[in-house]
């Protein structure tokens, strides 16, 4: 049985904002290795649209960017969206009951299924579907008080959580891993 893992970069004030901060070289290497190891990815529609950037080679990419794109393209993806009517290569549009679809994936697959997108992850918190939370904590403040746009990592109260591990990734990002208590 696979486990569902929700993990994203987050600011000190709790926001996911890909324009306000991004991974340095060490964290990017971590994400390449992570993507190579996941069994599948489940994306919310907006996050999938952001990540589709990796579907086609871009002029000027360096070797790590090409490595990430290769790993991303090879990973099977499921996309949860009310607005998208079609998805790209190696991706399946999820239709019907979200909880049933996720339970089906967990039962069918082995390993780790990453959940990408705060809105999607927050929908899966209520039925207690998420097995692990990974917060890549960046030392920046990126919320609306600074005029930035972003989405909260947690838009509702998560279930009670236990800290499983903490790890410094690169010079300034702390990976906090939690499991439901």
CATH number at residue 73: 3.40.430.10
- Give the whole-angstrom CA distance, residue 92 versus residue 76: 8
Residue with tokens 């990540």: 51
- Give the whole-angstrom CA distance, residue 97 versus residue 55: 27
- pLDDT tens per residue, range 93-128: 998 899 999 999 999 999 999 999 999 999 999 778
Domain that holds residue 99: 3-180
pLDDT(144) > 80: no
Do 118 and 11 form a contact (C-beta atoms < 8 A)?
no
In the chain, alpha helices (H): 25-37, 45-51, 63-74, 98-108, 118-125
Model confidence pTM above 0.95: no
At how many degrees (to 10) do helices 63-74 and 25-37 cross? 20
Do 8 and 133 form a contact (C-beta atoms < 8 A)?
no
Q: Would you state the pLDDT for residue 91?
A: 97
- Phi, psi angles (nearest 5°) of residue 32: -60, -50
Do 78 and 91 form a contact (C-beta atoms < 8 A)?
yes
- Domain count of the fold of the chain: 1
CA geometry: angle 84, 99, 48, nearest 5 deg: 30
Beta bridge partners of 42: 78, 115
Pairing, β 15-16 against β 3-10: unpaired
* Average pLDDT of the residues in 126-140: 92
Lowest mean pLDDT segment, chosen from 37-51, 54-68, 79-93, 148-162:
148-162
Pairing, β 77-80 against β 40-44: parallel
């Amino acid at each position: 049985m696979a486990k569902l893992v929700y993990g994203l970069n987050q600011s000190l004030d709790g926001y996911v904002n890909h324009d306000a901060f991004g991974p340095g070289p060490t964290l990017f290497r971590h994400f390449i290795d992570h993507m190579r190891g996941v069994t599948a990815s489940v994306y919310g529609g907006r996050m999938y649209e952001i990540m589709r950037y990796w579907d086609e080679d871009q002029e000027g990419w360096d070797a790590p960017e090409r490595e990430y794109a290769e790993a991303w393209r090879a990973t099977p993806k499921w996309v949860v969206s009310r607005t998208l009517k079609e998805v790209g290569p190696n991706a399946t549009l999820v239709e019907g009951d979200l909880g049933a679809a996720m339970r089906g994936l967990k039962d069918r697959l082995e390993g780790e299924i990453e959940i990408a997108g705060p809105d999607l992850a927050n929908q899966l918190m209520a039925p207690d579907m998420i097995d692990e939370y990974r917060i890549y904590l960046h030392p920046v403040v990126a919320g609306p008080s600074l005029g930035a746009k972003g989405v909260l990592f947690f838009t509702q109260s998560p279930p009670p959580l236990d800290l499983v591990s903490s790890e410094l990734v690169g010079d300034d990002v702390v990976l906090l891993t939690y499991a439901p208590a």
